[in-house]
Structure 1
Amino acid sequence: MQEILNIAAYKFVAIDDSPVLREDLRERAQALGLMGTILLAPEGINLFLAGLPDAVRSFVAGLRADARFADLETKESWSAAQPFRRMLVKLKREIIRMDHPAIQPAAGRAPGVDAPTLKRWLDQGHDDEGREIALLDTRNDFEVDEGSFDGAIDWRITKFTEFPPALKAHRADFAGKTVVSFCTGGIRCEKAAILMREEGIENVLQLEGGILKYFEEVGGAHYHGDCFVFDGRRALAPDLSARAADASARASEDVGLSSGLKK
């Protein structure tokens, strides 16, 4: 029986009390027996937590009591065992590193497309205006190798800071198309979509909630393989079940978090 609730969530919002908030969140998470990682930066919060369902939901309810996080949305999945080894709350310059200071997601989001609408567009072969869909995978190469959308564009980047120069080299490829950026849980594709709009690319959308929300709402239609995740489960199938993970998979938790790769 799968009894461990796993959640992923992020929000771009101004945070000016990170050291105090760090201690508060760490104490509350530890008191509830949760494990995982929370990243805090001036631009927002990014979190990945796992524990007993009531404990996880109590933590989220407490977080939403803070007006800054009142509309925080979570992606849920289940596992038979705890996929994290410890509880960490880290302070970062960015909750997902792009090294592009002009990008300020808290100042305004790029338009998004929800999972059912994207599936319908892919079913019919174009968007509602008749434009070709260009699916842009904003994740790192080893994540893409685990699985991606059929026909998605993959620039084989090894870290997210490589995305801006890759975009400059390929921006002409998107002329006349509707570009849908996607990633694991939404955070990278949101920054990517904002950058693309700033670069003058028209008709850019982000996949709301990323691959995990797509799996949750419509399953694996138009997707091949699994979705890489940075915890002991290693990858999730389109039904959000965990693939068999070996002991070394837990090490990827530390690698991914230190690189700011998750979501």
Structure 2
Amino acid sequence: MTAHSSTSMTNLPQPDHPYKVMAVYKFAPLPDVESLKAPLAAFCCAREIKGTLILAPEGINGTVSGSPQAIEALADFLFVSGPFGTRLAGAEVKYSYADTAPFLRMKVRLKPEIVTLRAPQVDPNRQVGTYVEPEDWNALIERNDVVLVDTRNDYEVGIGTFQRALDPNTQSFVEFKDFVAKNLDPKRDKKVAMFCTGGIRCEKASSYMLSQGFEEVFHLKGGILKYLEVVPETESRFSGECFVFDERVSVGHGLELGQATLCRACRHPLTAADRQHQHYVEGVSCAYCADDSDKHQAAAERQRQMDLARQRGRAHMGDAVADDAARARAEKIERAEQSRLANKG
């Protein structure tokens, strides 16, 4: 057993899929962060691992994919044998699988923060809220004395969230501080529960809340993704799908591929209802960018180039990944409809 096997890593039972996806984050002091970038990038590129990893003095954050063997080797490099030593031990790690590569290239980036809040007084390495396991989350959020807050941005909340959760209506995580100042009061809101996609934003948000005088702050361990993985759909309090930052766009219960797509002009996630809107034109526009003609022109030209590439029998760069994801999504919808009709009969 390797040292990293004790971290929060769950292998979904889908070994036949060619790509393994690894989402990882850890708040840990990395004062030597600049010297870590090159060996990490070289290790990933040598094994054809693709995605993005962010390094900062406060830790690591990112999502990558590759062959199952390559991702297992990366886990060993990060948690055991590489230049990080044991500093990333106990990292929050989630595995899933895909039929097509979710990412097109490999990037290792150095940033001041692994999740940007711009609150110097916040240090998740020193102070965070109380972790709540997914199995215990329903009981907590159903209490009348708990204020439930979604710490994600508006476009993420729009395709799925927990029932009765407050939506901060933010476009970036930096705006979360203003939401707290205007809408929450430590004297009134004695118990606050928060959630996000994978848990990282909540670690920083809970640290910030505690620095502002809030007494009891809870956050969902492993985020929505862990909740959707382990909580049965029949017991779920999550409505809709969870936005993810790759060509899958969204996932549902069991981390299965969702039905959301991206507007290729403005990159806003679109639900099935959004795609029925009068301003939706596939590959060109949607209701969220209806007034932005510049984006429409650029998207229309891109769509034209993609169509030409198809006619010539060549895939436009990046198009194959999106097409494969869309094809898988369409097949899933068709299977669901066939099952519904069979059960109806």
| Global fold match (TM > 0.5) | yes
How far 1:235 sits from its partner (Å)?
0.5
Structure 2 matches for 1:90-129, cutoff 5 A?
90-122=109-141, 125-126=142-143
Given candidates 174, 178, 192, the residue that maps to 1:165 is: 178
Give distance in 1, aligned partners of 2:232 and 2:206.
23
Structure 1 counterpart SS, 2:54: strand
User: Residues 33-59 of structure 1: CA distance to partner in whole angstroms, max 9, x if unpaired?
Assistant: 111100001111102011111211110
Structure with greater strand percent:
1
Match of 2:70 among 55, 79, 93: 55
Q: For residue 134 of structure 1, what is the aligned residue in structure 2?
A: 147
| Amino acid corresponding to residue 255 of structure 2 in structure 1 | L
Residue among 202, 208, 214 paired with 1:195: 208
The alpha carbon displacement at 1:189 in A equals 0.9
Against the structure 1 CA distance between its residues 85 and 174, is the aligned structure 2 distance closer, same or farther, given a 3 Å change threshold? Answer: farther
Q: Percent identity?
A: 36
- Partner residue of 1:260? none
Q: Is the 8 A contact 2:197 2:225 kept in 1?
A: yes
Question: Contact 2:129 / 2:216 at 8 angstroms: preserved in 1?
Answer: no
Q: Which residue of 2 aligns with 1:67?
A: 86
Provide the C-alpha distance between the structure 2 equivalents of 1:227 and 1:211, rounded to a whole number of angstroms.
7
The 2-side partners of 1:25 and 1:248 are apart by 33
8 Å Cα contact 2:249/2:262 also seen in 1: no
Residue segments in structure 2 that go unaligned for 5+ positions in a row: 1-15, 268-345
Structure-2 change in CA distance of 1:156 and 1:176 (3 Å): closer
Q: Compared with structure 1, are the counterparts of its residues 153 and 56 closer, same or farther at alpha carbon in structure 2 (3 Å cutoff)?
A: same
CA shift for structure 1 position 247: 7.7
How far is the alpha carbon of 1:62 from its aligned partner?
A: 1.4
Structure 2 match to 1:241: 256
Tell me the distance in 2 between the aligned counterparts of 1:173 and 1:103. 17
Amino acid at match of 1:233: R
Aligned residue type for 2:116 = R
Q: 194, 198, 209: which one pairs with 2:222?
A: 209
Kept after mapping to 1: 8 A contact 2:52/2:107: yes
**3-state DSSP of counterpart to 1:242:** coil
CA contact (8 A) 1:119 1:218 kept: no
Q: Shift of residue 132 of structure 1? A: 2.6
> Aligned in 2, Cα 1:223/1:73: closer, same or farther, shift over 3 Å?
same
CA distance in 2, matches of 1:110, 1:244: 33
Q: Is the Cα contact below 8 Å between 2:147 and 2:189 reproduced in 1? A: no
Contact 2:128 2:210 in 1 (8 A): no
Residue 44, structure 1, aligned to residue 59, structure 2: yes
Unaligned runs of 5+ in 1: 253-263
Distance 1:68 1:42 in 2: 12
Residue-by-residue CA offset, 1:191-230 (whole Å, 9 max, x unaligned): 1111111111122111111111111221440000100011
Q: Over the residues paired in the alignment, what is the CA RMSD in angstroms? A: 2.2
Equivalent position amino acid for 1:93 in 2:
P
Alignment match, 1:229: 244
Rg (Cα) greater in structure? 2
> What's 2:160 paired with?
147
Alignment CA distance shift 1:144-1:116 (3 Å): same
Distance between the aligned counterparts of 1:86 and 1:55, measured in 2?
Answer: 15
| 1:121 Cα offset (Å) | 3.4
State the AA in 2 paired with 1:165.
D
Question: What secondary structure does 1:107 align onto?
Answer: coil
Q: Relative to structure 1, is the Cα distance of residues 210 and 172 closer, same or farther in structure 2, using a 3 angstrom cutoff?
A: same
Cα gap change, 1:246 to 1:133, in 2 (>3 Å): closer
**1:109: Cα distance to partner?**
2.9
Matched to 1:23, the amino acid is: A
Partners of 1:11 and 1:44 within 8 A in 2: yes
8 Å Cα contact 1:228-1:234 kept in structure 2:
yes
Secondary structure (helix, strand or coil) at the match of 2:206 reads helix
Corresponding residue for residue 343 of structure 2: none
Q: How many residues are matched?
A: 247
Distance 1:121 1:102, change over 3 A: closer
